[in-house]
Amino acid sequence: ELQSQYIHHPYIAEILKMIEPKRTLKTDKIKVLVTGASGFIGSHLGKRLKKEGYYVVGADWKSPEFMQPNEFCHEFLRIDLRVMKNCLQACEGIDWVFNLAADMGGMGFIQSNHSRIGYNNTMISLNMLEAARHHNIKRYFYSSSACVYPLHAQDDSENTIGLKESDAWPAQPQDIYGLEKLYGEELAMKYAEEFPQMQMRIARFHGIYGEQGTWKGGREKVPAAFCRKAAAAESVFEIWGDGEQKRSFCYIDDCVEGVIRIMKSDYDKPLNLGSEEMISMNDFAKLVMEIAGRNLPLKHIEGPEGVRGRNSDNSLIEEVLGWKPSIPLAIGIEKTYQWIKEQIKAEKQTGVNTSVYSESTVVVTEASDINA
């Protein structure tokens, strides 16, 4: 009774009238929507799902930078998912949703753009959930983050303990970015509780890296930044902070495998999706330089540092799925390095001054552009 009242909610009915023509998908395949499909994880996930025989609709407000849309989806919608009408359009005729869209980046972005991230990501999360409920989506994946974990559990680089899923509450998440993810998780679980036809799956990603991800411009995370510096730096290798801060990094193939396994499982609470192979930024810089055949002196400079120590505890994912990420950092980062080196080489050939790639930039604070 409650459900049908909501389904015929006049607000939604009015918006639905604006969507013309209605999309009908004539296929026997399972129809999946990947949001944030032009992004790093979304494009790799879409590609794999397409290969596995799913009918993939990709949605993003940007065109993909490193792949053609037909590599990762059958149909590409270039839409702003902060807008309810667009979320309703995207969810129409879909069986499963993978919601990966978010305004995001590494430390050079998320610590200088809290209001923009707060507005954009909250709008995406709320509207996507409600649109999915309206269209009776059977299964919904929400991409959360290690940034949901409390700061006090990550303030010691000497004694970093792996973060367990149960550590998220009582909460003190990192930045507005992490707070929104934690709220997004809770709201997603409430939707599944109150509307059980929509099954919820949630992963907390820890430092996902690999080829075809952002590697310059300020939004890149440290794996891509270090590969870029190892390829482009001439005299010193710059590191934000003292380099003793620690992280673990998970290669994209493990991430995609994990997302699909989580989606197919019957576990409906958040699961860590990350590696347990923790490393300090100083050691990470040396590892990347070794792969690149470089031996530059490290130069520690001021920059946004985030938490002191973060690692994933994979006991729960192993118990629930009988699987956990296993690709060693040295293997994944070598592939990532080769790809970034090629990008730089290609730019150099077109006359771009690539010497600037020895430094990382911080993205200046920008207002959320509602008409973007």
Q: Give me the active site residues, please.
A: 177
Residue written as token pair 């989606």? 263
Least distance CB 78 / ligand NAD (angstroms):
8
Q: Which is nearer to ligand NAD, 54 or 76 (CB)?
A: 76
- In the shown chain, the binding pattern of residues 85 to 104 toward ligand GKE, with x for contact by CB under 6 A and - for none, equals -------------------x
Least distance CB 64 / ligand NAD (angstroms):
8
Is residue 263 involved in binding ligand NAD (CB under 6 A)? no
Is residue 213 involved in binding ligand GKE (CB under 6 A)? no
Which residues in the 133-172 window bind ligand NAD by CB under 6 A? 143, 145
Task: Label residue 187 exposed, middle or buried (CB < 10 Å: 0-12, 13-18, 19+).
Answer: middle
Residue 332 contact partner, candidates ligand NAD, ligand GKE, none, CB within 5 to 8 A by sort of partner: none
Contact present, 279 and 313 (Cβ < 8 Å): no
Residues in the chain: 372
> Which single residue brings its beta carbon nearest to ligand NAD?
39
Is residue 109 involved in binding ligand NAD (CB under 6 A)? no
- In the shown chain, the binding pattern of residues 25 to 54 toward ligand NAD, with x for contact by CB under 6 A and - for none, equals -----------x-xxxxx------------
Q: Which is nearer to ligand NAD, 207 or 270 (CB)?
A: 207
Contact present, 5 and 29 (Cβ < 8 Å): no
Stretch that binds ligand GKE, among 66-74, 91-99, 289-297, 304-312 (CB under 6 A): 304-312
| Chosen residue from 49, 102, 117, 225 binding ligand GKE by CB under 6 A | 225
Cis bond leading into 21, ω under 30°? Answer: yes
SS3 state at 241: coil
> Which single residue brings its beta carbon nearest to ligand GKE?
106
Is residue 345 involved in binding ligand NAD (CB under 6 A)? no
In angstroms, what CA-CA distances link 175 with 116, 148, 182?
12, 9, 11
Q: Which is nearer to ligand NAD, 202 or 233 (CB)?
A: 202
Residue written as token pair 């944030």? 36
Is residue 50 involved in binding ligand GKE (CB under 6 A)? no
List, in order, residues 6 or more apart from 372 with CB less than 8 Å away. Answer: 61, 80
Least distance CB 157 / ligand GKE (angstroms):
10
CA atoms within 13 A on the CB side of 368: 17
Contact present, 280 and 245 (Cβ < 8 Å): yes
Between CA 323 and CA 332 the distance in angstroms is: 18
CA atoms within 13 A on the CB side of 55: 12
Between CA 264 and CA 201 the distance in angstroms is: 9
Between CA 86 and CA 18 the distance in angstroms is: 10
And the tokens for 32?
């999946």
Residue ranges that bind ligand NAD, judged by CB under 6 A: 36, 38-42, 60-62, 80-82, 100-104, 120, 124, 143, 145, 205, 207-208, 214, 221
Residue ranges that bind ligand GKE, judged by CB under 6 A: 104, 106-108, 110, 145-147, 206-207, 220-222, 225, 239-241, 245, 247, 281, 303-306, 360
